[in-house]
Amino acid sequence: MSGSGGWWRQKSTPAKVETYTRWSFHFFALIEVVSIGLPLFGEMVPWVAASLALVVAGHAVVCAVTAARALDWTLGRREQPVHMLWTLGAITAAVAVMAIVIAEHGPSGDDVDTAAGSVFAVVLIFGAGTFALGVRSRRRMYSVVTGFAVGAGLVAFAGRPGPAALISVLVVFLGGGFLAFTSAFSVWLLNAVYELDEARETRARLAVAEERLRFGRDLHDVMGRNLAVIALKSELAVQLARRGRPEAEEQMVEVQRIAQESQREVRDVVRGYREADLGVELTGAQGVLEAAGIRCEVSGEAAGLPVDVQSALGWVVREATTNVLRHGDAGRCAVDVRVTRECVVLKVENDGVAAPSGPGGSGLAGLRERLAAVDGTLEAGPVGDGVFRVVASVPLRMSEVMA
């Protein structure tokens, strides 16, 4: 697995979206430098162009740092970067004023005025869009964009005619508003992805909790009445034994019978909880995976297999489905059951494996123990670029297969 590709595949879906969002904001800083910093050298004298380009590059770096810290704040990983926001605002205002000063008092020429005007508008636009990341509500975001536009108008009116200043206000307002909207939407999308991922994990935990409650309820229903009867009959036997009554022996025989019956019923409950029907597990796995947005294809026939074989293979399907949901970023999963004269083979294959994982996990170890009870074997591991395969094989005699 290549280094760069492996680094990307190791990330979960929310982490991928976050990485994309972060580098999008960093790319905005690169666009600012490339779009207005580099063209200055063809329109101004070298020393003025170099000075202004250096200032623009510094402003772009401050925007990138502010965007990164503001994104951490929106994700709840740090406090609001208030000082960084004020620093960005001050630097943006300084660069804008510098551009106006160069346009009015620097070298003459239309190219110089155009370049300085571009610097003036673009730094205010990127400054407003980045600053909007550091505020929470829409009203404050609108206030930020409006404030940058009004500031642009005040600075422009000091050195430009009225129509040109109004155009500057409009350009800054529209451009800053667009970047602010883009920033807010990107943050909203990132938060939504994290919330959906958390909801999926919560749903899995609730399913486990519901199964535990069901098992506890079944066990209580079986044992509650029988234990109460055993306690009463044991107390009665004690009283009869103290009086020398022969009925005490009959009561203890009855207690023994109820205890043996309770033991049998508990085994039935545990067996029903631990055994898994292969057909039911295949249907359930397909439904759960497709509900999670993973395309699942099930092929083969599971009917007619011995109960113990179905139970062992059903647990393989259950564990493999859990691994697909919890690990990696699968988009496709294929489950295939093949029955021959010698054996039955179950194969589960999925893509989106984050990193190579060996067969030493506790879940796979438990499956090997279950399969060993029916003389079965288990193979699990990566088989290609981001593909993981689990193959369970159980020997089978045709006389065991029900017609």
Task: Give the residue with greater pLDDT, 397 vs 92.
Answer: 92
| Mean pLDDT taken over the chain | 80
Residue 295 lies in a domain: yes
SS3 303: coil
Task: Give the residue with greater pLDDT, 92 vs 229.
Answer: 92
CA distances from 309 to 31, 344, 393 (A): 62, 9, 10
**Per-residue pLDDT tens over the stretch 227-249:** 877 888 888 888 888 888 888 88
Identify the top-confidence range among 31-40, 143-152, 249-258, 372-381. 372-381
Assess whether 285 and 371 both reside in one domain: yes
pLDDT at 358: 46
Residue 155 lies in a domain: yes
Distance CA 191, CA 201 (A): 15
**Per-residue pLDDT tens over the stretch 116-167:** 777 888 888 888 888 888 887 778 888 888 888 888 777 776 656 667 678 8
CA distances from 94 to 56, 61, 152, 169, 402 (A): 11, 15, 12, 17, 85
Q: Is the pLDDT of residue 361 over 60?
A: no
Assess whether 144 and 48 both reside in one domain: yes
Q: Total structural domains in the chain?
A: 3
**Per-residue pLDDT tens over the stretch 191-202:** 888 888 887 777
Assess whether 43 and 132 both reside in one domain: yes
- From 230, 247, 274, give the residue that closes a domain: 274
Q: Is the pLDDT of residue 295 over 80?
A: yes
Q: Is the pLDDT of residue 102 over 80?
A: no
Distance CA 248, CA 232 (A): 12
pLDDT at 403: 44
Share of the chain above pLDDT 90, in %: 9
Q: Is the pLDDT of residue 362 over 60?
A: no
- From 228, 257, 274, give the residue that closes a domain: 274
Assess whether 252 and 173 both reside in one domain: no
Sheet holding 343-350, edge to edge: 295-300, 332-339, 343-350, 387-395, 377-384
Assess whether 188 and 234 both reside in one domain: no
Lowest mean pLDDT segment, chosen from 304-318, 321-335, 379-393: 321-335
Confidence of residue 321 (pLDDT cuts 50, 70, 90): confident
pTM for this entry = 0.57
Q: Which domain holds residue 247?
A: 211-274
CATH code, domain with 343: 3.30.565.10
Assess whether 170 and 36 both reside in one domain: yes
Q: Is the pLDDT of residue 1 over 60?
A: no
